[in-house]
Amino acid sequence: MTSVVATNQTILVVGGGISGMTAALEAAETGKQVVLVERNPWLGGRTAQLYRYFPKMCHPTCGLEINLRRLKANPRIQVLTLAEVTGISGTKGDYSVTVKLTPRHVNENCTACGDCGKAVSAEIDDAFNYNLGKIKAAYLPHSMAYPQRYVIDRSIVGTPEADKAKAACKYGAIDLEQQEEVVSLKAGAIVWATGWKPYDAEKITPYRYGEFPNVITNVEFERLADPHGPTGGKILRPSDGREAKNVAFIQCAGSRDENHLRHCSRFCCMGSLKQTHYVQEAYGDAGKSTIYYIDIRAIDRFEDFYAKVKANPNVSFIKSKVARISQDKDQNPVLWGVNTEGYKRYSNPHDLVVLAVGMEPSVKGVDIPAEVMADSSGFIMADPANAGIFGAGCATNALDVNRAVQSATAAALRAIQVVNKVARAEA
Amino acid sequence: MSNANEQMAARYKNNFLKEIEEQAEMGEWVKMCMQCGVCSGSCPTNFHPGWDHPPQEIFMMIRAGKREEVLTSNSMWMCTSCYNCYVRCPRKLPITHIMHGIAEYAYRLGVAPKFQPTLHLSQTFWNNCTKTGRVNEVKLTQSLYFKDGFMAGIKKGLEMKDVALGLVKAKRLNIMEALGGGHKCKDIKGIQAMLAKAKELEAKRKAAKAAA
């Protein structure tokens, strides 16, 4: 059984992405006990799946490394991976929480040597790379995964494949007997940092995502550009593996649309502007990017970044929400619409189309086991009736990494105040 | 320029948007347009020549106060009511209905383009079907084909003869109706009374709006 030490002075952080990690660290570094619950077998969330950040164009691995170092050095944080909160009862200062733990089938003896992965031949979808490729069913989710331990996928447990993996392990790290378990713990305050998911592009039917191979999403494009991604960092067309030198970006794919997401997702303009750098870096002057937009929302200090991209002769801007996409005989996506600057009709072929899909809160449609208020887009809001549960990061709003970290720090501060009150009352 | 048109122009002077909002059906939606252009790009007629301004341009022209250009434009009359723009509009504007609303308003003011085929069809169709409660297809086609002269009508008729024969074979078209009469409703008087009442109510509503 997994044992969790927690009291009503403990802060529970749900979600181990950049917001959850930040909230957990900020709280723990002020001396609070923290339990950090993450559904994936690794921490870092969607930030870890980015190739680079805007505006500094540095790699998320850097920022994550700093946070992981803080985490490893802090004895007050207990991390539960492959864990989901299933129930919350009680009130501010005195919550009882149940957490369901899914077995990893690999214990702490694992050295990430990779022998089990070599022994296994079964393959599963590569979730870290947005299912763009396949990986072995005994896998390290990504090179910087924390905990740095392999995972045996549950699909092979009970098959000879799992036995092969166990036989290959020199360290006795594979435990196929592990069972799902439910642990109960106490918490004084809860930070809900479950993040976001990309909007399902298949719902935007005129763009034919899922049907045309060369129409992909912005999160998938991040993986294409990443050297650890499925193409080794080369920007190649999914249909034929040809170099994609003429790339179109469609802004507001789902966002600011009453038929899809009502809100502006805020990060996608900067995301696409950033991704034009990937095209430029990969192909130099032969790499052309075209951004189709309603209006560019490079908020506050990002205006400078926008101005620089705009000055690049290899990047063009077309003020138009693309009406539909068709495909020519070479599987080039063809974009149809009207340029609203001058009302010019166009039908432009491109090598690759990147849909800048928006953020949908992960909490939307999910049954949070507690009463929380949500806005019309499903983002959770501060609820005076439930004053011990705080949203953080993209669970509360469409935010970029920088703003998510600010939001998480604010949530940590509120949670700290709750447990401080509990501590005073008990003293 | 008709009298009604001059009155309205004088009343709303420099605020054409307000005029459309208050006087044209569904006109209150025009201000919600965010000029993304998805309606124009979605319009099936848009990649063919023949119409002046796509919907989002019409909406911008309304805001810019281009009263005469909008009201005399053929754009609203070119709408085929396919509803592509309607379903794709990210602000959920009922674009098809707005276009029809503006068209109807221009017609009411007497400034709609003369000899515009859609307008001609609408009027002919209305007169034709309200007479008996059913459409006399032969007469309707005749009046459309021969609208530009006798020779043009013969030419058009020959062009379409295979379609016509098909319709006759499928019993969708009765050549004898060219002589008059044809199929009709059981209760013509009832239908006409109903239409007269509807027209009266509409006229009342619009007069109230115009007088407000």
CATH number at residue A306: 3.50.50.60
In chain B, residues with a C-beta closer than 8 Å to the C-beta of A319 are 37
Give the domain-ending residue among A358, A383, A416. Answer: A358
The reported pLDDT for the residue numbered A352 is 98
Q: Examine the domain organization and report whether A351 and A231 are in the same domain.
A: yes
The reported pLDDT for the residue numbered A2 is 77
Q: Examine the domain organization and report whether A91 and A138 are in the same domain.
A: no
Report the number of distinct structural domains present in chain A: 3
Domains of chain B, each with CATH number or no CATH: 3-113 (1.10.1060), 117-200 (no CATH)
User: Do A206 and B88 count as a contact with CB atoms less than 8 A apart?
Assistant: yes
Q: Which ipTM was obtained for this model?
A: 0.85
Domain contains A109: no
Expressed in percent and rounded to 5, the helix, strand and coil fractions of chain B are 65, 0, 35
Q: Which of A258, A338, A340 sits opposite B46 (nearest CB)?
A: A338
Percent of chain B with pLDDT over 90: 56
Does A339 contact B at CB distance below 8 Å?
yes
Give the domain-ending residue among A337, A358, A379. Answer: A358
The reported pLDDT for the residue numbered B47 is 61
Q: Examine the domain organization and report whether A39 and A55 are in the same domain.
A: yes
In chain B, residues with a C-beta closer than 8 Å to the C-beta of A358 are none
Q: For residue A120, what are the domain limits? A: 115-168
Does B34 contact A at CB distance below 8 Å?
yes
Exposed / middle / buried, residue A257 (Cβ in 10 Å: 0-12, 13-18, 19+): buried
- Pairing assessment for the beta strands A389-391 and A189-192 based on DSSP bridges: parallel
Chain A segment 92-121 residues within 8 A of B by beta carbon are none
Three-state secondary-structure class, residue A176: coil
User: Do B46 and A343 count as a contact with CB atoms less than 8 A apart?
Assistant: no
Measured between alpha carbons, how far is residue A360 from residues A14, A81, A319, A364 in Å?
17, 23, 25, 7
For residue B3, pLDDT beyond 90: no
Alpha helices by DSSP H, listed for A103-262, are 115-119, 160-168, 218-225
Strands, DSSP E only, in A244-388? 246-253, 288-293, 315-319, 324-327, 333-339, 344-349, 352-357, 359-361, 373-374, 380-381
Q: Examine the domain organization and report whether A347 and A405 are in the same domain.
A: no
Q: Examine the domain organization and report whether A86 and A191 are in the same domain.
A: yes
Q: Which of B36, B42, B54 sits opposite A343 (nearest CB)?
A: B54
A99 CB neighbour count, 10 Å cutoff: 21
Q: Examine the domain organization and report whether A146 and A236 are in the same domain.
A: no
Does A39 contact B at CB distance below 8 Å?
no
Domain contains A257: yes
pLDDT tens for the 427 residues of chain A, in order: 678 888 889 999 999 999 999 999 999 999 999 999 999 999 999 999 999 999 999 999 888 999 999 999 999 999 999 999 999 999 899 999 999 999 999 999 999 999 999 999 999 999 999 999 999 999 999 988 999 999 999 999 999 999 999 999 999 999 999 999 999 999 999 999 999 999 999 999 999 999 999 999 999 999 999 999 999 999 999 999 999 999 999 999 999 999 999 999 999 999 999 999 999 999 999 999 999 999 999 987 899 999 999 999 999 999 999 999 999 999 999 999 999 998 888 999 999 999 999 999 998 766 677 778 888 898 998 777 778 999 999 999 999 999 999 999 999 999 999 999 999 988 7
Q: Which of A258, A259, A338 sits opposite B37 (nearest CB)?
A: A338
Domain contains A3: no
Closest chain A residue to B40, measured at CA: A338
Q: Examine the domain organization and report whether A32 and A145 are in the same domain.
A: no
Domain contains A173: no
Give the domain-ending residue among A334, A358, A382. Answer: A358
User: Do A322 and B47 count as a contact with CB atoms less than 8 A apart?
Assistant: no
Q: List all residues 6 or more positions away from A185 whose beta carbon is below 8 Å from its beta carbon.
A: A4, A6, A10, A12, A35, A96, A97, A99
Domain contains A90: yes
Q: Which of B40, B87, B91 sits opposite A338 (nearest CB)?
A: B40
User: Do B88 and A259 count as a contact with CB atoms less than 8 A apart?
Assistant: yes
**Mutation site, A340, A344, A346, A376, interface B, largest B CB count within 10 A:** A340
Q: Examine the domain organization and report whether A221 and A333 are in the same domain.
A: yes
Measured between alpha carbons, how far is residue B124 from residues B101, B107, B129, B140, B200 in Å?
19, 14, 9, 7, 21
Domain contains A2: no
Domain contains A290: yes
Domain contains A267: yes
- Closest to B92 (Cα-Cα) out of A231, A256, A336: A256
For residue B2, pLDDT beyond 70: no
For residue B42, pLDDT beyond 70: yes
Three-state secondary-structure class, residue B124: helix
Report the C-alpha gap between B74 and B119 in whole angstroms. 10
| pTM for the structure as a whole | 0.91
User: Do B53 and A343 count as a contact with CB atoms less than 8 A apart?
Assistant: yes
Q: Which of B36, B57, B87 sits opposite A321 (nearest CB)?
A: B36
Does B172 contact A at CB distance below 8 Å?
no
pLDDT tens digits for range B47-65: 666 678 889 999 999 999 9
Q: Examine the domain organization and report whether A185 and A312 are in the same domain.
A: no
- Closest to A250 (Cα-Cα) out of A201, A210, A284: A201
Radius of gyration of chain A (CA): 23
Chain A segment 303-322 residues within 8 A of B by beta carbon are 319-322
- Rounded to the nearest angstrom, the minimum Cα separation between B38 and chain A is 5
Q: Which of B34, B41, B47 sits opposite A294 (nearest CB)?
A: B34
Q: List all residues 6 or more positions away from A24 whose beta carbon is below 8 Å from its beta carbon.
A: A11, A13, A16, A34, A36, A71, A77, A191, A412
Does B38 contact A at CB distance below 8 Å?
yes
Q: Examine the domain organization and report whether A221 and A327 are in the same domain.
A: yes
Q: Examine the domain organization and report whether A377 and A312 are in the same domain.
A: no
Q: Examine the domain organization and report whether A293 and A208 are in the same domain.
A: yes
CA A11 to chain centre: 23
